[in-house]
Structure 1
Amino acid sequence: MKKKFKMPTAYTILAAIIVIVAILTWIVPAGQYAYVNPKATKLQPIPGTYHTVQSNPQSFKDVVLAPITGFYDAIDVIVFVIVIGGFLGTVMKTGAIDAGIGRLVKKLEGKESWLIPLIMLLFTLGGVAFGMDEETLAFFPILIPVFIAAGYDAVTAVAVIKLGSGMATMASLTNPFAVSIACKFAGISMGEGIGLRVVLLIVFVALGIFWTMKYADMVKKDPTKSLVYDLHEEHKKHFLGNRNENDIPELTGRRKLILAVFGLTFVVMVIGIIPFSDLGIKVIPTLGWWFGELAGLFLVSSIIIAIIAGYKEDKFLPIFVDGARDLLGVALIIGLARGITVVMNAGHISDTVLHLGEVCLKGKSSAAFTVFTYLFYLPMSFFIPSTSGLATVTMPIMAPLADFSGVARHIVITAYQAANGILSLFAPTCAVIMAGLAMARVPYDRWLKFIWKLLAIIFIITLAFLVLAMFVYK
């Protein structure tokens, strides 16, 4: 009897990709561009300066050390995730989340489906404004129990968060980490092409909500249709514990205060990271916070919540450490994902891939250039999942090429953003989706089964709109 194929874990998938990329460094010619400032954090290549360099094939030792270097490179995100684990562990121990979920589910009894579009639209605002991605990691452990308690499954919770923010990020209007940087290096204003992005935004968000609600409604009516039905009891036990409706803690005044601090923490987080000055907003100051400041915010909030709950130091610290330990696996995934880029850069093949795109796209007709630009950004987004990093590396080369093919530069930016966004929904090199699935305990193959048809639809819609826009903006 043949054994049924079992999908490897996220750790194995990422480790395998590191090995494959390392093998490629022995095959793909090494090369580099000259850079505007070789010492800058984000390197900006100078078009037409690509040249071959001495190859640096990655050895077994390099493969082993790649995730370790990945940890160093992503230490700010990893510390942020671990502190969030301690923060959530502290809040959960107080019973405030259980009490709040219980109250919410009772109030929405018979109307649970409203949860999906409302929460997705909230994430949409984040995606539109600042390309919300890593910031969603804080919401997975919070919303998964809510949806499971409401009769849905963990896949629904992941879809609400990831499609809520991701579909909007694909056509973000003001994302300072994608649109703003890309426009800067393309030499155009953020207003150019905004009409195309608005149309795509409406289409993508509506499609994401429809797709999620359709699946969620199916699971609600027949739980056996869930893609993770075999894990249902395990998920209930892990995310909801062994309690029943009568075990739900009372929502006392103290727990209400804890929930208020809990909610305020996320409001402050959003205010801290939005670059209001870049968006033309002068009333609200731009704090310029990033993962270091955010980790500090959640740490302080953990202490405040512990004080409200009446926990002394000897009780609070073990709770915080246990919570941090729960997300250690997520931190490992982030380091592994970053290790792929480490191997590519060390093997000097990142610029070679970029140069291949430059050669293939040069001199193409307007329609061909538009189509191939989107196709080019798909593999590039796999190897360089960072929106700002991808824009910095590619836009100085791609924007001038668009001029030679008679294509508006903003179409290149829309293609880049859409391609990077679609890859962030499923690519194993994108740490957020892999970390989110790990938090939700959803196997990677189940997520692919849920999303692959949607990805095909997005791909076709994006190509159609890009080609249409190419004719409109001639």
Structure 2
Amino acid sequence: MEIQQTPKRKFKSPNTYVIIFFVLILVAIMTWFIPGGQYQLDEAGRNVAGTYSRVAANRQGLWDVIMAPIIGMVGNDQVSGAITISLNVMLFGSFLEMMDTVGAINIALKGVAKKYQTNYTVLITVLTFIMGIFGTVQGAYEEGFVYLLMFLPIILSLGLDTIVALMIVIFGTQAGCAASIVNPFSTGIASGIAGISPGEGIIFRALTFVILVGFCSFMICQYAKKVKKNPKNSLQYFRYQQDLEEFASTDGDEEKLSARQRKVFIIFVMTFLIMIVSLVPWKSLNANFTIFETMTNWLNNNVVTGSIFGNDLIPLGDWYFNEINGLLIVMTIISGFIMGYSIDKTINILIKGAAGLVSTAFIVPLARGIQVLMTKGNITATVLNSCEKTLGSLPTILFVIICFIVYIVLATFIPSSTGLAAATMSIMAPLAVFAGIQESSMVVIYNFALGLVKMFAPTSIIVMTCTQAVHVDYGSWLKASWKYISLFFVACVALLLLNVLVF
């Protein structure tokens, strides 16, 4: 008689919603055991270290757990609503859906790859920076394998291997995500939860973008040079001919941007340039830099422009989520108009893109619900006081390094940028202030950890999908990349220390 073996059930990590909901329940339970407390507040509404005192606790029940995400979305007297952040995520999805429908970005990428194919070091540098831009402005991650398959034919034809293409896409996008200059899915959400503008720390994030992506480009070129010198140095040398046959065959057709697609591509670039300029706190950098404020006052007070645009325009440098949301709507509609789409098609694209990110957008109020429960339960100050006496009392340099390592561990299990920000930022941002650094510095630590982890962790979608797509086993990827990832870790630590010591 043949005995049938019961197949082993594979462990499946619960999705972000389930994790955060259990956190909500845990927080509600904590309000029954943790004493209530409060801090004195400064003029900016921040807790003042060393002013903690006990107050009566307010135990939270099941109904409070149910209502917390709803209050988290619309806000109340104590907690600001997350609806503008959620709307920002959905409208960003609309804008990206329009760009995907137009197809200009993919055609432009192919053109860049072919233009620089005669010099592999220039090609690697250019493609890595392009991937970095996609990572830093839109959080490129799940779609990485699309870019990978786009670059492979040219990379292989130069005598390089699939590892080079993997490094360009994985290192490039995640170095960009580590900087996240204006990435709405990490910096935007984390800053919103921390209660600061996404523009805070943007100058340093721009600096880290150039350094980290440039460093990754250099490391990839070094690996490519080693493979070019001796192809047997490649871990994938045993299947190079197979890779050529599978990935390097092309139909010879070369797509070119149409006049309309070229204009939409310019719109794409302009949108992110405006976002960056609008979020830089110009007056805080230089009190005499008032050109944007002067221009805006003129537009608001001019009879003609004031009648057309209204007289409530906000100067560049003072924009927040509302203004960015308006920009995304306008640019999405303008792109549809340039392509000659009917208004119905444009609106359908806008709705489709927003719908695709509803699940991500809903994480934000769910996470804000944690803050709602802790605030109503009067335990936020008590938890912060405990952290203040432990982590917060450490020397600044040691505090930053430990927080970075803690975030690396957390990001390995919660690789979702929205999920990680949701689960941690409401506590970690105030803790940063107690430790003597800005909330924006904690956002940088969080971003660095996410970017680093997504380069190697088995929970990283981009790593697992890209390696599988080009027949590179996970062990080979780690063997080929671990030295470079270790150097990236060192570079991140150095930049974090620069941030707290100089900026």
Q: TM (normalized to structure 2)?
A: 0.59
Aligned residue in 1 for 2:110: 102
- What amino acid maps onto 1:279 in structure 2? L
Aligned residue in 1 for 2:285: 279
1:386 and 1:98 mapped to 2: Cα distance?
A: 35
Cα deviation code 1:170-198 (max 9, x no counterpart): xxxxx9xx9xxx9xxxxxxx9xxx9xx99
- Taking a change above 3 Å as real, the CA distance of residues 200 and 223 of structure 1, as seen in their structure-2 partners, is same
SS in 1 for 2:274: helix
- What amino acid maps onto 1:146 in structure 2? Y
1:454 and 1:71 mapped to 2: Cα distance?
A: 41
Q: Is 1:318 aligned with 2:319?
A: no
Aligned residue in 2 for 1:64: 66
Q: Is 1:74 aligned with 2:76?
A: no
Aligned residue in 2 for 1:371: 398
1:155 and 1:14 mapped to 2: Cα distance?
A: 33
Contact 1:378 1:419 in 2 (8 A): no
Cα deviation code 1:366-421 (max 9, x no counterpart): 7xx7535754798799898799977984566544xxxxxxxxxxxx56xx766553
Displacement of 1:86 after TM fit? 1.8
Aligned residue in 2 for 1:405: none
Aligned residue in 2 for 1:342: 372
1:7 and 1:277 mapped to 2: Cα distance?
A: 46
1:304 and 1:467 mapped to 2: Cα distance?
A: 43
SS in 2 for 1:52: strand
1:87 and 1:352 mapped to 2: Cα distance?
A: 42
SS in 1 for 2:445: helix
1:293 and 1:32 mapped to 2: Cα distance?
A: 34
Cα deviation code 1:294-347 (max 9, x no counterpart): 111121112211111111222222222222222222212333333333333333
2:495 and 2:104 mapped to 1: Cα distance?
A: 47
Displacement of 1:33 after TM fit? 0.9
Aligned residue in 1 for 2:57: 55
- Taking a change above 3 Å as real, the CA distance of residues 359 and 452 of structure 1, as seen in their structure-2 partners, is farther
1:156 and 1:335 mapped to 2: Cα distance?
A: 35
Displacement of 1:96 after TM fit? 2.3
Correspondences of 1:457-472 after superposition (within 5 Å) = none
1:245 and 1:58 mapped to 2: Cα distance?
A: 64
SS in 1 for 2:91: helix
Aligned residue in 2 for 1:300: 330
Aligned residue in 2 for 1:7: 13
SS in 2 for 1:282: coil
Contact 2:432 2:442 in 1 (8 A): no
- What amino acid maps onto 2:356 in structure 1? D
Aligned residue in 2 for 1:27: 33
1:215 and 1:346 mapped to 2: Cα distance?
A: 54
- Taking a change above 3 Å as real, the CA distance of residues 67 and 426 of structure 1, as seen in their structure-2 partners, is farther
- What amino acid maps onto 1:352 in structure 2? T
Given candidates 429, 438, 446, the residue that maps to 1:423 is: 446
1:466 and 1:394 mapped to 2: Cα distance?
A: 16
SS in 2 for 1:22: helix
1:350 and 1:214 mapped to 2: Cα distance?
A: 49
Correspondences of 1:164-203 after superposition (within 5 Å) = 164=176, 166=178
- Taking a change above 3 Å as real, the CA distance of residues 4 and 34 of structure 1, as seen in their structure-2 partners, is same
Question: Over alpha carbons, which structure has the higher Rg?
Answer: 2
2:282 and 2:498 mapped to 1: Cα distance?
A: 33
1:62 and 1:392 mapped to 2: Cα distance?
A: 24
Aligned residue in 1 for 2:319: 289
Aligned residue in 2 for 1:85: 93
Contact 1:25 1:347 in 2 (8 A): yes
SS in 2 for 1:424: helix
Displacement of 1:98 after TM fit? 3.5
- Taking a change above 3 Å as real, the CA distance of residues 15 and 460 of structure 1, as seen in their structure-2 partners, is farther
Contact 1:81 1:137 in 2 (8 A): no
1:316 and 1:11 mapped to 2: Cα distance?
A: 31
Q: Is 1:114 aligned with 2:116?
A: no
Q: TM (normalized to structure 1)?
A: 0.62
Displacement of 1:11 after TM fit? 2.9
1:337 and 1:452 mapped to 2: Cα distance?
A: 33
2:496 and 2:463 mapped to 1: Cα distance?
A: 35
2:367 and 2:259 mapped to 1: Cα distance?
A: 43
Q: Which runs of 5+ in 2 are unaligned?
A: 1-6, 75-80, 153-161, 182-186, 195-200, 228-233, 240-246, 293-314, 411-419, 452-459, 467-472
- What amino acid maps onto 1:267 in structure 2? L
- Taking a change above 3 Å as real, the CA distance of residues 137 and 330 of structure 1, as seen in their structure-2 partners, is farther
Contact 2:170 2:462 in 1 (8 A): no
2:268 and 2:141 mapped to 1: Cα distance?
A: 15
- Taking a change above 3 Å as real, the CA distance of residues 462 and 308 of structure 1, as seen in their structure-2 partners, is closer
- What amino acid maps onto 2:445 in structure 1? I
Cα deviation code 1:58-112 (max 9, x no counterpart): 3223333333333332221221221122222223223323432332333344745
Cα deviation code 1:266-286 (max 9, x no counterpart): 212211111222222727525
Aligned-residue Cα RMSD (Å) equals 5.5
- What amino acid maps onto 1:166 in structure 2? A
Sequence identity of aligned pairs in percent? Answer: 26
Contact 1:418 1:462 in 2 (8 A): no
1:275 and 1:166 mapped to 2: Cα distance?
A: 21
1:7 and 1:213 mapped to 2: Cα distance?
A: 36
Cα deviation code 1:19-42 (max 9, x no counterpart): 3333333333221112235xxxx6
